[in-house]
Chain A
C-alpha cells in the first residue's frame, strides 16, 4: 500500500511524516524522527516503556498506528525536559534513586506526569494503579513510588510559589 502523510503536534510543534499504513507511533518517533527517549521494550504492549501522552493520556506508542494521532497532541519525554535543569518529576526520580538500568524510566515518568496532571495529590494506591502497566524488571518499584510522592510535593510547592 502507498505511504501517506500524517501530521500531528509533537512536543508543541507540528510535524509531518510520510508513513506506510499501520506504522506505529513508536517507529515514527524512534526511527523517522530519531527521538529515542521513548523506548522499545517489547513491541507488543506488555512493558510500558514506550508510553507517551496523547492529549495528556498515557498511550502505548508501540501499539498505536500514527494515523490514529493525526491532528492530536503527542508529548514525549523530550517534550517535558527543560533546556536547563529537570522537570519536577524527573528531579524526583533522580533524587530518590528511582532509576536503576533506566530503561523503564521514560515510560514511568510519563505515566506519573499524566497522573499528577489530573490528580495532584494521589494516594500510594493511585500511583500503583497508574504504573500497573509499566514493568521495572530491576524491581525498583519502592523508590519509584517514593519519587511519585516527592514529585507531587514539589509540584504543589511550585504551584503555591507561582
Chain B
C-alpha cells in the first residue's frame, strides 16, 4: 500500500507544479512582517465606535431602557434600538430556506440569553462608547431560565419560542428523523443490546483576533464593509436583507481572518455597524472585546446522545437507535443545519440494516451555539467511536475487527437513503494501523471498500 502510494506521489511530482510540493504561502510575507492588514488595523478619519448594551440576565422581559445618562457622556453620538433596524428579526440560514426568522438584531421586549444585545451605542471613541453603555439603565423582569436540553423539552419548562415549543420544527416534525428498516424487530433478534449515553460540552473557538468590522459610507451612496467574517457573501446578503437595501448597495471586503474555526460565520457585527454608518454618515468600527468573544459569541453546541445498539455474536451491528439533543442556545444560528448533518452521520461509517434516529435542535437560555469544525458530525463521531469500543469490549472482540466487519462498502445503502459510492474507511484503517505499527490479521488485510467478502 505504502509502496503504491509513494509511487503515485513520485509520479505526481513529475507531472504537477503544486500537488506533492511545498508552495510558499502567498500571505506569508505579510504575516511575518506584520504588514498583513486585519480589520482592527483599519481606521478612517472621523471613525466612530460601536458598543452593545447587553442583557445581564439569562431570560427576562424588557420593561424599560433609559438612555438619559448615557447621552450625557462626552463623545456620545447616538443610540440604535430595534426600532431602527428595518428587518430586525432574522435567521442566518434563511438563505438556504431555513425558517422562520426568530433572532432579533436588537432585542425587542424580551431577552433569551445573558449577553443578548439590547441596544447599540455609537460614540467618538471606544472608551466613550463603553462609558455610555455602562450608564444605560435597564429595567428588566427576570424569568425562569432553562439550561439543559432535556429539561427544556419537559412540560412546564419556560417556553422560549413564539411557536410554543423549545425545539426547531423540521418540515412539521419535532426533530430531524431517520427511519431505516425495523429496529425493534432487530433488537428482539440481537444477541446483545448495548446502551450508552454520550455528552459533549460547548467549546469557544477563541480566535486570537476577535470578531470585528468597519463599515464606511462611500461618496457614491454605497457602503464598504471591511470584515473578518468567514462567510463574506453570506454575510453581505444577510446584511442587505436585514437593512432592506439592494445587495448592490454593499461592498464587502474580507478574506483576512485572524483565526475563525467556524466562530466567524454568524452574521453578527456587520448589519448593526452598517446601519450605524447609514444613520451617522461616518465610518463605524465594531470590534468584540475578548470578554464578548468568550461570553457572547456563539460556541460549538453541546450534545447529549443516547445510543442503543443490537449486536450479533459475530460482531455485526444489526440495529442502532439514537436519540440526540443539540443545545442550540437561545437562537438558531447554524444549529438546525448541524442537526441535519448529525442525523445523516450518527449511524457512523458502518453499514447497519436497521436504524432509527431522532435528532432534536433544542433551545435553551445559553448563548447561541453555531458552527465549529464539523459541527453536528464531530459529536456524532465521538459518540460512535466510543460506542464501537464499548461494543468490542462487551462482546469480547478486537476493536479493529469490529470496525472492519461493519465498515460500509461501495453499493451499500445508507440509512438516509444514499448509496455509498466512495467508501474508503477500510483503506484508511489499514493505513492507520500501519502508521501506528499495529499488525492487522490477514483476514482483515484482505478486505476492501469496493466489495464485500462472504461472512
- A contact residues around B32 at 8 Å (CB): 86, 90-91, 93-94, 99, 102, 105, 109
- A contact residues around B35 at 8 Å (CB): 37, 81
- A contact residues around B209 at 8 Å (CB): 39, 41, 101, 103
Task: Output the least CB separation between B286 and chain A (Å).
Answer: 15
Are the CB atoms of A94 and B28 closer together than 8 Å? yes
Dominant SS among interface residues on chain B: loop
Are the CB atoms of A101 and B208 closer together than 8 Å? yes
Inter-chain CA distance A6–B208, complex, in Å, is 30
Q: Is A106 an interface residue (CB 8 A)?
A: yes
Inter-chain CA distance A103–B209, complex, in Å, is 7
Contact with A103, one of B25, B37, B208 (Cβ below 8 angstroms): B208
Are the CB atoms of A138 and B259 closer together than 8 Å? yes
Inter-chain CA distance A54–B348, complex, in Å, is 54
- A contact residues around B29 at 8 Å (CB): 86, 94
A-contact 0/1 string along B24-36, CB 8 Å cutoff: 1101111111111
Are the CB atoms of B31 and A102 closer together than 8 Å? yes
- B contact residues around A103 at 8 Å (CB): 38, 207-209, 258-259
> In this complex, what residue of B is CB-closest to A106?
B34
Are the CB atoms of B257 and A42 closer together than 8 Å? no
Are the CB atoms of B290 and A102 closer together than 8 Å? no
> In this complex, what residue of A is CB-closest to B291?
A44
Q: Is A104 an interface residue (CB 8 A)?
A: yes
Dominant SS among interface residues on chain A: loop
Q: Is B108 an interface residue (CB 8 A)?
A: no
Are the CB atoms of A37 and B207 closer together than 8 Å? no
Question: Considering the complex, which residues of chain A in the window 69-126 have a beta carbon less than 8 Å from any beta carbon of chain B?
Answer: 76-78, 81, 86, 90-91, 93-94, 97, 99-106, 109
- A contact residues around B25 at 8 Å (CB): 94, 97, 99
- A contact residues around B289 at 8 Å (CB): 43
A-B contact count (CB 8 A): 94
- A contact residues around B41 at 8 Å (CB): 30, 36
- B contact residues around A135 at 8 Å (CB): 208
Are the CB atoms of A77 and B34 closer together than 8 Å? yes
- B contact residues around A61 at 8 Å (CB): none
> In this complex, what residue of B is CB-closest to A98?
B32
Are the CB atoms of A41 and B290 closer together than 8 Å? yes
Q: Is A49 an interface residue (CB 8 A)?
A: yes
Are the CB atoms of B206 and A137 closer together than 8 Å? yes
Question: Considering the complex, which residues of chain B in the window 1-37 have a beta carbon less than 8 Å from any beta carbon of chain A?
Answer: 22, 24-25, 27-37
> In this complex, what residue of A is CB-closest to B36?
A102
Task: Output the least CB separation between A85 and chain B (Å).
Answer: 10
Inter-chain CA distance A103–B37, complex, in Å, is 10
Are the CB atoms of B290 and A105 closer together than 8 Å? no
Q: Is B367 an interface residue (CB 8 A)?
A: no
Q: Is B184 an interface residue (CB 8 A)?
A: no
Are the CB atoms of B31 and A43 closer together than 8 Å? no
Q: How many A residues, CB 8 Å from partner?
A: 38
Q: Is B40 an interface residue (CB 8 A)?
A: yes
> In this complex, what residue of B is CB-closest to A93?
B32
Are the CB atoms of B207 and A137 closer together than 8 Å? yes
Q: Is B43 an interface residue (CB 8 A)?
A: yes
Q: Is A131 an interface residue (CB 8 A)?
A: no
Q: Which of B22, B33, B209, B259 has the most CB of A within 10 A?
A: B33
> In this complex, what residue of A is CB-closest to B260?
A101
Task: Output the least CB separation between A84 and chain B (Å).
Answer: 12
Inter-chain CA distance A8–B121, complex, in Å, is 36
- A contact residues around B24 at 8 Å (CB): 94
- B contact residues around A97 at 8 Å (CB): 22, 25, 28
Q: Is B210 an interface residue (CB 8 A)?
A: yes
Q: Is A24 an interface residue (CB 8 A)?
A: no
> In this complex, what residue of A is CB-closest to B32?
A90
Are the CB atoms of A90 and B207 closer together than 8 Å? no
Task: Output the least CB separation between B23 and chain A (Å).
Answer: 10
Question: Considering the complex, which residues of chain B in the window 54-112 have a beta carbon less than 8 Å from any beta carbon of chain A?
Answer: none
Are the CB atoms of B43 and A102 closer together than 8 Å? no
Inter-chain CA distance A42–B259, complex, in Å, is 14
Are the CB atoms of A101 and B207 closer together than 8 Å? yes
> In this complex, what residue of A is CB-closest to B127?
A20
> In this complex, what residue of A is CB-closest to B41?
A36
Are the CB atoms of B33 and A101 closer together than 8 Å? no
> In this complex, what residue of A is CB-closest to B258?
A103
Are the CB atoms of B208 and A104 closer together than 8 Å? yes
Q: Which of A42, A44, A77, A93 has the most CB of B within 10 A?
A: A42
Inter-chain CA distance A37–B208, complex, in Å, is 14
Give chain A's interface residues, CB within 8 Å of chain B.
30-31, 34, 36-44, 46-47, 49, 76-78, 81, 86, 90-91, 93-94, 97, 99-106, 109, 135-138
Q: Can you show 30 pairs from A to B with CB atoms below 8 A apart?
A: A36-B38, A36-B40, A36-B41, A39-B38, A39-B208, A41-B258, A43-B289, A44-B290, A46-B290, A78-B34, A81-B33, A86-B29, A90-B32, A91-B32, A93-B31, A97-B22, A99-B28, A101-B259, A102-B27, A103-B38, A103-B207, A103-B209, A103-B258, A104-B208, A105-B31, A106-B34, A109-B32, A135-B208, A136-B208, A137-B208
Given contacts A36-B34, A41-B210, A76-B34, 9 further A-B contacts (CB under 8 A): A30-B41, A47-B290, A49-B208, A77-B34, A90-B33, A99-B32, A101-B260, A105-B32, A137-B259
- List the 5 closest A-B pairs by CB distance, nearest first: A37-B34, A102-B31, A103-B258, A36-B41, A42-B290
